[in-house]
Structure 1
Amino acid sequence: MNIELIKQKITDLNVCVIIPTYNNQHTLKRVIDGVLELTNNILIVNDGSTDTTTSILKNYQNINQIHFPKNKGKGMALRKGFKQAISLEYDFAITIDSDGQHFPSDIPNFINELEQNKGKDLLIIGARNMNHESVPGKSSFGNKFSNFWFWIETGIKLKDTQSGFRLYPLNVIKNLKFYTTKFEFEIEVIVKSAWKDVEVKNIPIQVLYDESERVSHFRPFKDFTRISILNTWLVFLTGIYYFPRRLFRNIKKKGLKKFFVEDLLGSNDSPKKKALSIALGTFIGFSPLWGFHTFLVLTLAIFLKLNKAISFAFSNVSLPPFIPFIIFASLELGQWILGEKISYSIEEMIANFEAFKHLKTYLVGSFTLASIGAFVFGFIGYIFFSFSNKKNMAVKND
């Protein structure tokens, strides 16, 4: 690695490094010194540390520092760091944790990736090797959980969405409105950036969890609850804003006819994809999630990249005339599975939906019926489309 060349690239690309820190006295100096080997464009945000952090930072008077009198949370420290970096007219900011898990020597990887994508709005997240022997099991699980919800909210699949080693485009960040202040901020910022058409991607980085010197401030119950609440809100916004907007843009870009053929009908879809689309639609249609069938089937079809038109069509197995019969079949299955016997008639269900007095039986039977229906209709669909494809290929060959 040519350090002088990297230093020049950091200057030319107008990048700074933000180091948020809270009670990391054992590793802070090592991280700062490592970054100083590559650049002096550093902003340190001391988030109300109560250990010897303040004394350590007195030895770095030439570095731009922000000190909170009390701890406000990592999200607030990053937000303050971004605001300061923007006021100093930097274009990009690399954030690196001060707990020693990240290696400043990986910064050139971010710079080289940025240089190769010059002119793009790019947000880069360092992907840790979560199978590394030093990575705690709870961190690996939390990362998978976060990756899943990020995919649900943006349609983007990443290997690591929780790493604090990142590069942010400040020209985008300055126009976003944020509400979170703790660890969940790092989820909010990447989701909202993706919604603004920023390219979010991973690059591999090194990681080290040395429990003898590392201090983690993540509170499993409180912070996991905060993250779950945030994800619930972001999924809601995804349904009413992000995907409708993306749908409209796709229609505008392709034209209505091309969009209908390619995106809705999926004329080139494989028999497997069409069969899975039938299975999804049938499962949702038979499920007891009344009032949400259309929203769920279209949302899941988009996320799972299935055929939306087919999924929607088969979700209509629950049209009003069929509802009493679906409930009847669900109750019969529920009784059989639970070993119960309920007295009712189909006339009662048509008149006043008496079945809902036996909610547990109905729910068990309903999801069982949905699963059976999805398998049967999906399997039949697969056979049909496979046969149709072979027949069409034979006609083309003739």
Structure 2
Amino acid sequence: MPQDERWLAALPIFNEVQYVDRILDQVSQFASNILVVDDGSTDGTSEKLAQRRDIAIIRHPTNRGYGAALKSAFDYTLANGFAGVVTLDADGQHQPKRIPAFIDMARTADIVSGSRYLHHFDGDDAPPEERLFINRRITMDINRKFGLQLTDSFCGFKAYRRSALERLDITEFGYAMPLQLWVQAANAELEIVEMAVPLIYLDLERNFGGSLNHAETRLNHYNEVIQTELDRLAAASDCVDRSDDHCQWS
């Protein structure tokens, strides 16, 4: 594959010792270039990663957050001349065999975002009710604000073209990172398409961190992240004329 056609598969990882080798063995069947961002693991994951010779590793000394891990992957993609990056989780919820399909679709789109609700697959799991409610609520709000047509605003299985990454400035380092992403992508008028992926929930008791484990608190936080990014973009664009579509977002 020519230098400018190389794609990276990147996995943010935090304490996935149970799954990491199995998932990376699968990823290596469908990607020639693999990056793992070890976000301060303390359960033996780091030691397992150190034994592998088929991956590049970025290690955060402490746990900085899901968004911070993806930010490191984006920076690595740009710094190393890749045409783009496919991001997927390392806990078994994303099927590595779909990586080539994401790359193919990204040849004509800026961002390809996995959707667990675009199509029903045989064997789909039932998502936790409160997480489904929050996803639907936030997705509806994002579509209404920005004229998007998303069905799943939180799926981490995505493909980003290099040109898209160059337009993003991710500073939200927690699980709310995708929301900042959608605000920036809409503002940059990036071409976004969704790809249907199976709904696999292995981590039914995800720890979102402290008070964010409470659903209402988490929903409020997500809305605050969206509004903060809107305010930042509005200020940056010197929105004097409030009839401008971008200014109206805020």
Give the TM-score normalised by the residue count of structure 1. 0.54
CA shift for structure 1 position 195: 1.2
Q: Could you say if the C-alpha distance between residues 239 and 67 of structure 1 is closer, same or farther in structure 2, counting changes exceeding 3 Å?
A: closer
2:222 aligns with: 227
Matched AA of 1:194: A
**How many residues of Structure 1 are paired with residues of Structure 2 in the alignment?**
236
Q: Which of 95, 105, 125 in structure 2 is aligned with 1:103?
A: 95
- C-alpha distance 164-124 of structure 1, shift in aligned 2 (>3 A): same
CA deviation after TM superposition for structure 1 residue 12, in Å? 6.8
Query: Are the equivalent residues in 2 in contact too, given 1:24–1:215 (CA < 8 A)?
Result: no
Kindly report which structure 2 residues correspond to 1:44-55, keeping only aligned pairs within 5 A, or say none. Answer: 44-55=36-47
Residue of structure 1 in register with 2:13 after alignment: 21
Distance 2:222 2:187 in 1: 18
Q: Alignment identity in percent?
A: 23
- With CA pairs under 8 Å and 6+ residues apart, which has the higher RCO, 1 or 2? 2
| In structure 2, C-alpha distance between the alignment counterparts of 1:225 and 1:25, rounded to whole Å | 32
State the alpha-carbon separation in 2 of the partners of residues 175 and 12 from structure 1: 18
CA distance in 1, matches of 2:61, 2:77: 20
| 1:217 pairs with 2:217 | no
RMSD: 2.8
1:46 deviates by 0.3
Change (3 A) 1:146 1:37: same
Q: Is the 8 A contact 2:35 2:57 kept in 1?
A: yes
Match of 1:64 in 2: 56
- Quick one: which of 68, 74, 80 aligns to 2:66? 74
Q: Answer yes or no: is the 8 Å Cα contact 2:4–2:82 preserved in 1.
A: no
Structure having the larger proportion of residues in strand: 2
Q: Work out which of the residue numbers 158, 163, 175 in structure 2 matches 1:171.
A: 163
Alignment deviations for residues 260-308 of structure 1 (CA, whole Å, 9 cap, x no partner):
xxxxxxxxxxxxxxxxxxxxxxxxxxxxxxxxxxx7xxx7xxxxxxxxx
Q: Report the Cα offset of residue 152 of structure 1.
A: 3.0
1-side partners of 2:11 and 2:96: how far apart? Answer: 11
Taking the aligned partners of 1:58 and 1:172, their CA distance within structure 2 comes to 31
CA distance in 1, matches of 2:114, 2:5: 19
Secondary structure at 2:192 match in 1: strand
TM-score, length basis structure 2: 0.83
Q: Max radius of gyration: which structure? A: 1
CA spacing shift, 1:113–1:158, aligned 2, 3 Å? same
Q: Does the alignment pair 1:129 with 2:98?
A: no
Aligned to 1:148: 140
Larger displacement relative to structure 2 (59-68 or 73-82): 59-68
Give the counterpart letter for 1:171 in structure 2. S
Instruction: Give me the whole-angstrom Cα distance separating, in 1, the residues matched to 2:16 and 2:246.
Output: 46
Cα distance change on mapping 1:44 and 1:247 into 2, 3 Å: closer
- C-alpha distance in 2 between matches for 1:50 and 1:92: 30
Q: Secondary structure at the match of 1:19?
A: strand
Q: Is the 1:149–1:231 contact (alpha carbons within 8 Å) kept by the matching residues of 2?
A: no
Residue 93 of structure 1 corresponds to 85
Compared with structure 1, are the counterparts of its residues 105 and 246 closer, same or farther at alpha carbon in structure 2 (3 Å cutoff)?
same
Q: Give the Cα–Cα distance (whole angstroms) in 2 for the partners of residues 35 and 215 of structure 1.
A: 25
CA displacement at 1:237 relative to structure 2: 6.2
Asked whether the 8 Å contact 1:40–1:63 carries over to 2, the reply is: no
Superposed displacement of residue 143, structure 1: 1.2
CA contact (8 A) 2:139 2:151 kept: yes
SS of the residue corresponding to residue 195 of structure 2 reads strand
> Deviations 1:151-172 (Å, cap 9, x if unpaired)?
1331112111100000112223
SS at match of 1:230: helix
Question: Unmatched 5+ residue regions in structure 2?
Answer: none
SS in 1 for 2:35: strand
**How far apart are 1:149 and its partner, in Å?**
2.2
Contact 1:153/1:235, CA 8 A, preserved across alignment: no
